[in-house]
Amino acid sequence: MDLLNALVEKGLRRESPTREEALAVLATSDDELLDVVAAAGKVRRQWFGRRVKLNYLVNLKSGLCPEDCSYCSQRLGSKAEILKYTWLKPDEASKAAAAGVAGGAKRVCLVASGRGPTDKDVDRVSQTISAIKEQNEGVEVCACLGLLSDGQASRLREAGADAYNHNLNTSEAQYGQITTTHTYADRVSTVQQAQAAGMSACSGLIAGMGETDEDLVDVVFSLRDLDPDSVPVNFLIPFEGTPLAKEWHLTPQRALRILAMVRFVCPDVEVRLAGGREVHLRTLQPLALHLANSIFLGDYLTSEGQAGKDDLAMIADAGFEVEGTDTTTLPAHRADALAAAGCGGHAEEAAGGGCGGHAKEAAGGGCGPCGDGGAEPEPVTAAEPEPVPAGAVAEARDADGVRTDLVAVRRRGAGTDLPPNA
């Protein structure tokens, strides 16, 4: 079709589509879906070949957040039965990160719930960054700690952080309906602070929160204007106990169209398939690899993901290859510009893949340390998960036939005594 041919030509020239063209991608029919995926796949292969970058999340601090983000299982007032624990010690976090690196992760994403870090928190995370880098040569580290205060971005960069993640999540027009304890402008400012400090900026969105097509296009065009190196695309995980628990409106086909639209608008940027892929793409996950060049390995912050070994098998079976630490993620023109801006002394840092967005938030985590101010309890020890009884899949559908059983709270890995999924 003429639309897709035009979008491919623009993508190969690093030219973004018009808003009308982006909306038209979202409006395509299911009959046209494979054509849309094939067209966006040409753009993805032009700039990233068949490489897939693996990223691994470490939840440094879970729950107890004072912010009211509606999508988040760690939010103020959340009744989601997630793990709750305060800061992991640097050696604990480094041990958790090592599991992801052993599974093939090129980037470790350090996340903590809450509004934003104190200076003491920045010191703590800086020690963790040092510990991870000392034990894992060539691995990138991205921090996601919430809203930054003056000077904190520079301190994280000096500590060795390659990237900083802070998502816009949704359009400016819809933002007040999702969160009231901070503003859209606060988020934009934090992304800009990270860029000014020489870190690779990572900022993305969450789809499935009741937004319109116009909202989706608005946030992706806003991200394009911010020019992050990485754009994580999350699909809402509707946790029971959160305000958006009943938002089950995404289909696998809709999710693929959203990913294709992001790829066309951000042709040469790392597009990360982030939280909620297992819940909403389900068996169509391999098709998404033709659109996104980056995924998370294993579990998310407060929810379980696909088994790490299954992630690797999916990548291989779909004809893609895992990107090594000796490969620069971004195309040369972006990697060179990032290096010139002061980010990175090695190929991986210059690659600037970014940390996967609120895979944590879409998966039920916040971003930034929580101001709970209490004593630091010991990490929670999780019990072995109980086996799913026969027939549970059929019984776990709601009145509309939605597979609500697909949301599984994380009970292993960081903050527990059980081995992580990597």
Q: Dihedral sign, CA of 385, 390, 393, 395?
A: negative
367 among known catalytic residues: no
Q: Of 107, 124, 142, 187, which one is the catalytic site residue? A: 142
Q: Is residue 72 among the annotated active site residues?
A: yes
Distance CA 3, CA 273 (A): 24
Active-site choice (65, 144, 266, 367):
65
Plot region of 407 (φ>0 → left; ψ -120 to 50 → alpha; else → beta): beta
Catalytic residue check, 65: yes
Catalytic residue, from 187, 272, 334, 410: name it: 272
Residue 350 CA, chain-centre distance (Å), reads 19
One of 107, 157, 202, 277 is an active-site residue; which one? 202
- 69 counts as catalytic: yes
272 has catalytic annotation: yes
Q: What does the block give as tokens for 115?
A: 């509004």
Q: How far is CA 206 from the centre of its chain?
A: 9
Q: Looking at beta carbons, which pairs linking 152-158 to residues 24 or more positions away fall under 8 Å?
A: 152/117, 152/119, 152/122, 152/193, 153/193, 153/194, 153/196, 153/197, 153/199, 154/197, 155/122, 155/126, 156/122, 156/125, 156/126, 156/129, 156/197, 156/199, 157/197, 157/198, 157/199, 157/343, 158/126
Question: Which DSSP symbol is given to 409?
Answer: B
Identify the active-site residue in 44, 107, 109, 410: 109
Reply yes or no on whether 355 is catalytic: no
Residues involved in catalysis: 65, 69, 72, 109, 142, 202, 272
